[in-house]
Chains A and B, each alone.
Chain A
Amino acid sequence: MPDTAPAIECESLRVRRGKKLVLHGITVTVPCGQVVGLLGPSGGGKTTLMRSIVGVQRIASGSVQVLGLPSGDARLRRLVGYSTQAASIYDDLTVRQNLSYFRSVLGARAEDIDRVLQETALSDTAGQLVATLSGGQRSRVSLAVAMLSSPPLLVLDEPTVGLDPVLREDLWNLFHDLARGGSTLLVSSHVMDEATRCDRLLLMRDGDLVADLTPSELLARTGAATAEEAFLAIIRQHPKHRAGGS
C-alpha cells in the first residue's frame, strides 16, 4: 500500500441499480486524514457511492481505488471500517457481545473492545441488550464496531441522523479526534447543516457530484448565509440541473 495514495480515488464511476443508472460517472479524490462530508438529499446516491467504496456494490464501469488498492481487495477488509445506514448490529445481543463477535471476525485484539467502548462513551451500557438502547446509543455501537480494527479509513453512512444536537456535537468531535489520529472519515448526511462540521465537502444530487470544496469555499462561492442555501445555489448553478428546472 503506497503511503502517498489518497484515501479514495473514484474514476468515472457508474453504477446501475435495477433499471436505473444511480451514479452517472463520479470522479473524485478524497485526501487522507480529513473528515469528509458526503452530503445531499435522500436518493442522491450517497449510500451507493459508499457501498462502491467498501466493495459490496456491483459497478457498471469506472474504477474505485481505496488506500491505493482496488476497492473490494481482500487486504482492505481490515483497513476500512464501515457502518451502514441501518445500525447493522445485532439487536438481540448485548453491546459487548456484538463487539466481541465482530472482534473475532476481524481478528482484532481483546483490548480493542474496551478501547472502542471508551471512545464512544458506551462503557456503562456494555452489558445492555442493543434492542433496549436509545437511537443515539445504537448508532454509537455501530460506530464502535467500525472502529474495532483502528482502520485508517472509516466509511459511515448517516451516523448522526435522528440524533439530538448534543449527541451530534459529541460524535463530530469524536470524528475529528479520529482524523487527528491519522484516520480518514467519509461521513454521509442528508442534513445540510452538518456541512460546517466537515473539513471537506462532497455534494451529491441525483447521481452526480455537484461540488467538491471546503465549507468556507461553499459559503464564499455562493454568497449564501447557510449551508442549506448554499447547496440550493450550487444546484441552480449546476449545468445539468439548471435546464431541467423541476
Chain B
Amino acid sequence: MNARRTFATAGRALQQIRHDPRTVGLLLVVPSLLIGLIAWLFVDTPVFEQIGPAMLALFPFTIMFLITSIATLRERRTGTLERLLTMPIRQLEFILGYAIAFSLLALLQAAVTVSFAVWVCGLTIEGSLWLLFAIAVVDAILGTTLGLLASAFARTEFQVVQFMPALIFPQILLGGIFLPRDQLPDFLHFISDWLPLSHAIDALNAVATGSHDAAWIGVELLIIAAFIVGFIVLGAITLRRRTP
C-alpha cells in the first residue's frame, strides 16, 4: 500500500468533481430536496416522522451508488484505467482513492441533508444528532463502495443503471420502509438481515425514536462498516490487470 498513490487518486477524483457543478448539485442538494418533498407531501400527518429517518438512508445511499459507479465506469471506457493498470498503482490503492474521495463528499452530503431534515423539515430526533450524522455518513459511504464494486461488472452506463433494480430496489423493499422489518415473512426477514441498507435504516430509526442505546447503534454501525470493508476488498480483487 502506497499512501502517495492512494491520496493522489482521491485528490484527482475530487478535482474532476469540482469541474462538474451538476454532479456537485446532485450530491449536495438533491437528497435535501427529496426529503423536503416528502415532508411537504405528508404535512399534517405523522408519516414523515415515521419514514423521514429511512429517507436519510435511502437517498444518499442511492445517489452515491450511482455517482461512484458511473465515475469509475468512465475510467474503464476512456482507457484511463487501462493506462493506470500498466503503471505502478495497485488495485486496492485505486479503489481506496475513490472511496476516500467520495467519502469526503458523503460527509458534506450528510451534513447538508441531516441539517435540512432536522432544522428545516422539523424531523424529530430523540437520540443524539451526532449519531444520526455518523450513520448518515457511513450509509452514504456504503453506497459509494457498493458502486465501486458494481462498476466492475458493467461495461456501459446502461448496465450500471440496470444494477439499480437488481441491487438497490430489493434493499429498499426489504429495508423496513414499506413494512417494518419485524412484520416481514420469516424468510424475507432473514434475507433483509443480510442487506446492509436494512442496518442503516434500523440505526437511523433507533436514533430518531430513541428506542435503543448507543451501544446497540454502535453494533449496527460496525455491521455496516464490515460491509464497506468487504465491498472495498471485493472491488480490489475483481479489478484485474489482465482482461480478456
Do chains A and B interact in one complex? yes
Which A residues are closer than 8 A to B by beta carbons?
Answer: 16-18, 51, 54-59, 72, 74, 77-78, 80, 82-93, 97, 101-102, 104-107, 129, 145
User: Which listed residue, A55, A84, A101, A105, touches B88 by the CB 8 Å rule?
Assistant: A105
In the complex, chain A residues whose CB is within 8 Å of the CB of B241: 55-56, 72
Provide 17 A-B residue pairs closer than 8 Å at the C-beta atoms, listed in order of the A residue.
A16-B244, A55-B86, A82-B83, A84-B79, A85-B79, A90-B78, A91-B78, A97-B12, A101-B9, A101-B11, A102-B83, A102-B87, A105-B8, A105-B87, A105-B89, A107-B4, A145-B83
> Do A104 and B83 form a contact, CB below 8 Å, given A16-B244, A57-B242?
no
Q: A107 vs B67: C-alpha distance in the bound complex, in angstroms?
A: 29
Q: Does B45 contact A (CB under 8 A)?
A: no
- Interface pair B12/A88, CB less than 8 Å apart: no
**Given A83-B83, A84-B82, A105-B88; A129-B4 close (CB under 8 Å):** no
Q: Are B88 and A107 in contact (CB under 8 A)?
A: yes
- List residues of chain A with CB within 8 A of the CB of B5: 104-105
Bound-state CA distance A90–B15 (Å) is 10
A98 to chain B, nearest CB (A): 9
CA distance A106 to B80 in the complex (A): 14
Residue numbers in B under 8 Å from A80 (CB-CB) = 86
A72-B241, A84-B79 known; A93-B87 Cβ under 8 A: no
Beta-carbon nearest neighbor of B77 in chain A: A86
Taking a contact as CB atoms under 8 Å apart, the answer to whether B4 and A55 are in contact is no
Contact call A84/B15, Cβ cutoff below 8 A = no
Name the CB-closest residue of B to A15: B244
The bracket for how many chain B residues form the interface is 20 to 34
A94 vs B243: C-alpha distance in the bound complex, in angstroms? 29
Q: How many A-B residue pairs have CB under 8 A?
A: 83
Please determine whether A87 and B86 come into contact, CB atoms closer than 8 angstroms: no
Of B19, B20, B89, the most chain A CB neighbours within 10 A belong to B19
CA distance in complex: A143, B203 (Å): 51
CB distance from B107 to the nearest CB of A (A): 22
CB distance from B96 to the nearest CB of A (A): 14
Whole-angstrom CA separation of A56 from B80 in the bound complex: 13
Contacts of B4 on A, CB cut-off 8 Å? 104, 107
Are A58 and B243 within 8 A (Cβ)? yes
Partner of A106, one of B82, B87, B243: B87
List residues of chain B with CB within 8 A of the CB of A17. 244
Q: Counting chain A CB atoms within 10 Å of each CB, which of B9, B11, B12, B86 scores highest?
A: B86
Given known A91-B78, A93-B16, A97-B15, contact A72–B242 (CB-CB < 8 A):
yes
Q: Which partner residue on chain A sits nearest B2 by CB separation?
A: A107
Say how far A157's CB is from chain B's closest CB, in angstroms: 9
- The answer to whether A86 touches B78, judged by C-beta atoms less than 8 angstroms apart, is yes
Interface digits, B210-244 against A, CB 8 Å rule (1 contact, 0 not)?
00000000000000000000000000000001111
Question: Cβ of B168 < 8 Å from any Cβ of A?
Answer: no
Cα(A74)–Cα(B86), bound, Å: 9
- State whether the Cβ of B154 lies closer than 8 Å to any Cβ in chain A: no
Residues of B within 8 A of A54 (CB): 86
